[in-house]
Amino acid sequence: MRYLFFRKYTLRKINKYVLILLLILTCFNSCTLKQNGSKDDFTFIVAADWRYTTTEPYHSTEYFLGALEAIADVGKGAFMLSPGDVEPPSQSRALISQVLGADYPWYAVVGNHELEDPTYMDYLRQLNRGEKSLPNIVRKGPPGCEETTFSFDYGDCHFVVLNQYFNGESDMGTDGDVVPELLAWLDKDLAANRKKFVFVAGHEPLLPIPDMHNGRLRKRGTALDKYPDNAFNFYQLLMKYGVNAYFNGHTHNASIARINGLWQVDIGHARGIEDLYPEMIFQGISSIFTNGKETGMTRDQAVQKYFWKQPYAIKKVLDYLELTNNVYYKELADEPALKALKFFFAKAEKMGDVRSEFFRTYWNNWDLSRSTFMKIRIKGNNIFVDVYRNDAKGGPYSLVYTEKLQ
């Protein structure tokens, strides 16, 4: 009898101590979570449109290298998500590895400039192929776009990377759209998701929004809004599944806007100083002028020779110079472009200083936007977007704005 009493007393005493211990552990875990946040709390970087090349002076900190160094300073987070125009991707990956580490995950979205070189597309496909594919992949894309459209999970978040140049058959078959085949795949992917937060990334915006600082507006009518029915269906699907934010690039203008209830985060560009085109084009034409004089070539002949050498870049400069009557450079025919270029140089030459007239006209019609990257912080039930920008002249980056996505 005494033994039974002692046993019951001992068990009660042990149970009491176990209960106390459990309470202590619960309080400790609660305090720890309050201090450090949920186990699913993390950060990641969103940056794109840097157009990095091996050509000097792109190696300097005034350009993409400076953005990467700033990312390292503020904390590189778990990975980088890049909504397009990261060409050449192999060189971009090398620089990212150099600054942020060879094992730092990089999820790249296809942009319109990746379509211009088949080797760029091959590289992006290889990133998501075989045993060395990107980490945490949940689902590959539809047939014809298996490697450049995909979804992945991290923490309590689900991410979708869309190749908006998929036309239903080829992963480089359209000019920027969300075709029914891509939308159907996205519907299935989002329907299967069980994560708390959902982010979708594509290169082109649903609707271009002015830059948050200089108010510049680009790509209106030539982004996803060029195909309004498909864009609207895309928007409806994102709303249906409660997507927390849609990340895009393409415009080079940074903005955070809520479009009929959907957060669209345009991450701008991370190239540092935005544009080298005027200097590159002027140097090229000047070189031909100089060489042409030695062979008896006229000014118009020199301009024409250089134009046929690289019409794409020259038409882009003409677009910035506003010499094309507001015709988008991709839609501008060669002959009118060449005529406008010849007219400009004839006028500039009569003014006595071709170089000064070239740059004066260019900069009077072109506002540079500040280089940008964003740090996304997942903390408990909250999503914070920290916007880091430089001064548009290659200077240091600083935190300029924070938005809480609610």
**pLDDT confidence bin for 16, thresholds 50/70/90:** low
- Phi then psi for residue 329, to 5 deg, are -60, -30
CA distances from 162 to 45, 140, 152, 372 (A): 18, 11, 12, 22
CA distance 186 to 258: 21
pLDDT tens-digit map of 152-204? 999 999 999 999 999 999 999 999 999 999 999 999 999 999 999 999 999 99
CA distance 400 to 392: 13
Residue 56 per-residue DSSP state: T
Query: pLDDT-based confidence at 365, cuts 50/70/90?
Result: confident
- Looking at residue 326, its pLDDT comes to 67
Q: Which residues is 198 bridged to in the sheet?
A: 158
Q: How many helices (H) and strands (E) does the chain have?
A: 11, 13
Angle formed at CA 118 by CA 76 and CA 282, multiple of 5 degrees:
80
Query: What are residue 106's phi and psi, to 5 degrees?
Result: -130, 115
- DSSP conformation letters of 333-390: -HHHHHHHHHHHHHHHHHTS-HHHHHHHHHHHS-PPPPPEEEEEEEETTEEEEEEEE-
Whether residue 218 contacts residue 252, with contact meaning beta carbons closer than 8 Å, is answered with yes
Angle of helix 180-192 versus helix 228-240 axis, rounded to 10: 0
- Mean pLDDT for the stretch of residues 369-381: 97
Least confident interval from 3-17, 86-100, 306-320, 347-361: 3-17
Residue 252 pLDDT class (50, 70, 90 cuts): very high
Break the chain into its structural domains and give their ranges. Answer: 42-274+370-405, 277-364
**pLDDT at residue 152 in the model:** 98
- Tens of pLDDT, residue by residue over 254-267, are 999 999 999 999 99
Residue 315's contacts (CB-CB under 8 Å, 6 or more residues apart) are 324, 329, 330, 332, 337
Q: Categorize the per-residue pLDDT at 206 as very low, low, confident or very high, splitting at 50, 70 and 90.
A: very high
pLDDT band at residue 18 under the 50/70/90 scheme: very low
pLDDT surpassing 90 at residue 292 = no
Joined tokens for residue 136: 């945490």
Closest CA to 374 of 276, 278, 288, 264: 264
Task: Give the distance from CA 87 to its chain's centroid.
Answer: 12
DSSP, res 299: H
Who's near 277: CB < 8 A, 6+ residues apart? 313, 316, 317, 320
What DSSP string runs through 178-194?
--HHHHHHHHHHHHH--
Closest CA to 85 of 57, 64, 70, 56: 64
Domain 42-274+370-405: CATH architecture, name and number where available: 4-Layer Sandwich (3.60)
d(CA 147, CA 140): 6
What is the band of 39 on the pLDDT scale with cuts at 50, 70, 90? low
Q: Which residue has the tokens 């990641």?
A: 44
What is the overall mean pLDDT for the chain? 86
Q: Cα 79–83–89 angle (5° rounding)? A: 80
What is the DSSP pairing of strand 398-405 with strand 382-389? antiparallel
pLDDT digits (tens, 9 = 90+) for 306-352: 888 878 778 877 776 777 766 777 778 888 888 888 888 887 777 77
Residue pair 185/142 in contact by the 8 Å Cβ criterion:
yes
